Structure formats: structure tokens, C-alpha cells
Chain A
């Protein structure tokens, strides 16, 4: 086979096209093609997009100021329930703040905390998991010891201590929740890495001169993505609810700031008489988690490598 020298610009394009036709679609192109026909992924992505838009455009979309208290309109039910007002579509809370506005603003905090904390947990857990699984030996034992410690210390106690020491802010909450939710990632990625490192393609990689870091990042990590995605979708919900617990204890998001977790925590006292105070942010949370799940499953489906095309 001789290498054809490229001549003019036009011919180069046609050459590239011809090559494309010969080689078939690249994995990226295949994934996009499949994504277009994947309803779960599209729905999940759509919901997340809408929620993100609401979060970003909250000042323009919210009908009221989420901090504005109107004690004369306390605990209004949603508009369609008897006693509700159409000016407050989803009613008001115990301080007379518009619930719809608080949910819209709350999307900012909750999505930030959920996705942020799950990402931080993933970074810690996956890094430690791959290190422990791939290098083994004393590193593995050290990481396992760390897990044992993490599991032995009540995480709430740890979070409380950390928040007291560092101070109270949204960033701190995200980091603290993330830093206490990495054990799942670690356990799963460690055992998967233990299995993968014995496979011949890892030996082939080191035989071709790859460094250990290159092997860990380029050969092992891509094979862990499915497991990481599954845990990520679970951890987002866990993180948001964790924030509610923290807020309930007065350690989470500082009080007037609207967040779904805080709203659930605050509404809890009146749950039996004004159930919507818990149900409405609960629904928002539920939809967010479902959307992330759908997206995660969809991404897994469109990146499968064994479907014969």
C-alpha cells in the first residue's frame, strides 16, 4: 500500500470523506446518533436542562422575592386547594414566603449541592479506589484503613465537627458532604480495578512502554465509567437529602437561603396539616433524581461497545 500524498484542499476533503466512509462512524458520532433515538436520555436531559434554566434564570422567572415575608399570608395552600390564592400558585410557607419562588431559587442550591457533592465524592473515591486496586500492597491497606475509619466515625458527627471548624457556607457544605460520601465509589472502583488490572490489555500496555499513571488513567478508568455513573446518580439524591439533614440541624445552608432540603426540613413540623410544604420540594427533588438517573442510563446505553451495527 502506498501513501497517497494529499494535493489540493478540495481533494483532501473528499479524501477525508472517503476515509470516513471506509472506516465507519467514530464512536462519538455513533453515540450522538444513538442519543437522538434514545427517549430516556432525551427526557432526562430535557428535564435537567429545564431545571438548570430555572436555576439560572430564577430572578426573572420567580413571581415573588423568595425572601420576602408576609406574615398575614402564612401557610397558604396551593392555589387549586380551597383557601389558596392564584397570586401564590404553590402557596406560602410558615413565614408567608412564596413557595413557588423558593422552589425555583432552591433549584440553584440543591442542584449545586447534589451534583457538586457527588462529583467531589467521585473524585476522592475513584482516585483512592484506582490507587488501592491498581497498586495494591501497603497503599491498598492504607486506603482500606481509611475506609474503616470513615465507616467507624458517624458521618453526621464528622460533618458537624468540620462545619464548626471551617465555618458555615454553601461551598463548605458541598465539600463536606462530598468528602464524607466517597466510600461507595471506592469500594466499587477498587474491586473493578482489581479485576481489570489482571487482564492482558493492562500487561500489553506496560509492554508497549506505558507508565503506571497512563495505564490507570487511559486503560483502567474508561472501564470504570459505567459503575461510576450508577453511583453518581444515587449519590446526587443522597447529597441533597444530606443537606436537608444538615440544614435541619442548623449546619447546612444558612437559614433564609432557599434550598429544597431546607424546605423539607422546615415543612416537616407542619407536615400533617400542610402536607404540601413537604410534598412540593419532595416532588422537585424526585424529578431531579429521576432525570439524572435517566440521563445516566442513557449515557451508558449510547456508549455501549458491543452492539453490532
Chain B
């Protein structure tokens, strides 16, 4: 049995990386909630946003580069709405999903063409050396990465802001309406295209935040696009339509895979971390197909 200190450290580390998964999952949830589209391009958007930020900040002050990147992500949202979603309105969900795969390849390629395909360092000015907490409780203290703490704080405020946005503004109400029924939403005066633009822009900004967190950890490079794959089990766990679900799902996956590695890993030779999340997701699918927090599909027959 491991000492409590190291276990806590592993748990904390897991929760922190869970927050990073949640950040990516959040982008999926936003778009799925409002347009019923499973946006495969969310990972590519993370990469594109991070690349834009890191390259722009080479010749612009950081705050300016940040704002300009937000503008770029809104432009991406606009282009996707105009060129992909609008012509495909009313099509089956699977067709829209395929279209987002197309967007993924385009964004991956286009991003690296204009911004370059090297590994770029993203320095957010956060100290890289770890902090040691509770040194007087546990021998050696608990090691925490400042970047993770920063990411967790940002993610937390982002989720809070989005929850307020969805629940107490008229745009939030409009978003939920559009998610439920396109025709009815239009008939009460909600402009569909504007709503999609808002949602994709928001998802773009969430992608930027996720890109900053992941990029400062791993460096900004192509593999950022693949963090989307890590978000899939989070989505299944939390439910595709729930913002709190994305967060809780992220935390469960993050903590779960680290603890599994610690406790079950040694029994079967390790390496659990890489597939534990998917097995967990599969188990949840069998019991609760709508996810832990997803809306139960209500249908009268």
C-alpha cells in the first residue's frame, strides 16, 4: 500500500490533467448542444488556435496576439458556418459529422502551411518548476505543476461563465431552443445562422484556452490535434449535452487513469493509463448510454 502523500500527489496530478481533457470536451459539448453536430474538428481547432497564438506572439505583444487569435477563431467560425453548415442545413447528423472531418483535415493542413510545422514553445510566463505543498504534513510535500493549477483555474472560470451564459441570458435560452428544434426556434424569431456563429466562436475561444494549456505543457505541435481523442471518453462519461458533465467526466478520467496505473498497473504489467479511459467509457455506455449527466431522451410513444 502506497503512502498517503504520493497517492494524493498522483490523484491531484490526475485531476489536473482531467481538467485539461475537460477543456477539450467542453468545445464538443457546446457545439453538440446547440446544433446537434458532433464536431470532429474541435482538436484541429485547438491546434490552429495555439499555432496562431504562438506565432503571432513572436512579433506582437502577448495580449494583442491573444486578442487577434480570438478574432481569427471567430473568422474560422464564420467560415465554417457559411461554407459548411449553411449549405448542409437539414441534412442528417452523420453527413454533418463527415463534413467536420473534412474541416479537421483542412484546419490541420492550413494551420501548418501558414504557421509552420515545427514544435513551438508557448511561454505563458508561468514558472515551470513545480511547487511543493503541505511539506510539513507529508515528507517531501506534494508536487504540483503551476501550469496545471493555472489551467484548472482558467477552466473553472470558463465553466462558470458558460453556465451563467447558458442559463440566464436570452442567448443561452435561444441556444437551448435551437438545440431542441430548429424549426420551432426560427418560428419564435431566433436567427439560426447567428446562433451557430456564436456557438462556433465560443467553441473556438474554448479551443484557444485548451490550446494554451496543452501547448504550454507539450509545446505547440501537430499532436495537439490528437488531444481530441482523449476527449472522447470524457464525452461518453459526462454526456454529450452537459457542460458540468464534461468537467466531471474529465476529472473522473484524469484521476481514474492515474490511480488505475498506480493500483492496477503493477498487477498486469503497467501501461494502463493509455487505455483505461476508453474501457471506463465503454462500461458507462453499457449502463447509461446518455452518459452520467446527459439528458435522458424523453419520448412519448
Pairing of A with B = no
Residues of A bordering B, CB below 8 Å: none
